[in-house]
Amino acid sequence: MNKKTSLELIRACKDMISGGLVAGTWGNASIRVADGMIVTPSGMPYDSLNVSDIVLLDMSGRVKLGFRSPSTESPLHLEIYRNRPDVHAIMHTHSIYACALAVSRINLPVILEEQAQLVGGKVPVTDYAPAGSQELARAASQTLGEGGAVLLANHGLVGVGKDIKEALLVCQIAEKACHVYIMSQSVGTPFCLDDKDVFSLRQAFSKGYGQNIKE
């Protein structure tokens, strides 16, 4: 197991809890690796995680390395990785405003530019399925489709990315968008971005945002 990758996972989880995206030991995160995925252990405080606590699973869900029990949501992570070869990291949070939409079974429309740029579009909500079940794993993967995030009915949010930093940022931006969407309805009617604008924002972000330093 690569120590550097495990430390990246632990660091992202500490940012997840310090940012208020989860409470206690709820939530989980993983990173795709060559021989499967590394995932957070079940029911352990994020602030005290060590590299030795991270669990390596193969793509069938068998523990290949580690002495801890893996996250009970490992089936969900594996199902997404099997269906999305472009996804290399997954984070699952229980943030407040995402949960508010999830319990109301309301899809999050595209209302913010950064949502369009990074998440890539609306955030749909699944039908309800019990936590940790294969039914939830299938529902999450199917509802996510080619998107960047999905709401789990009466449960929380899942964000995906090319690395764990992006998966964390997707969860942060999705939570912000859920918050703004709920608050905007108290002062008026939120206006959503249309498909053309979403596409343009996404393209511009992927091609022209950030530094492009040439040696």
List pLDDT tens digits, range 154-184: 999 999 999 999 999 999 999 999 999 999 9
Find the CATH number of the domain harbouring 187: 3.40.225.10
| Dihedral sign of CA atoms 193, 168, 158, 1 in order | positive
Identify whether the C-beta of residue 1 lies closer than 8 Å to the C-beta of residue 64.
no
Identify whether the C-beta of residue 159 lies closer than 8 Å to the C-beta of residue 148.
yes
Confirm whether 61 is domain-assigned: yes
Confirm whether 191 is domain-assigned: yes
Confirm whether 158 is domain-assigned: yes
> pTM of this prediction?
0.95
Structure tokens at 125: 């909500």
Residues assigned a catalytic role: 73
Confirm whether 214 is domain-assigned: no
Confirm whether 107 is domain-assigned: yes
Confirm whether 97 is domain-assigned: yes
* pLDDT reported for residue 215: 47
Domain that holds residue 188: 3-207
What's the number of domains the chain is made of? 1
For 82-137, how does the pLDDT look when each residue is reduced to its tens digit (9 = 90+)? 999 999 999 999 999 999 999 999 999 999 999 999 999 999 999 999 999 999 99
Confirm whether 213 is domain-assigned: no
Confirm whether 162 is domain-assigned: yes
* pLDDT reported for residue 210: 64
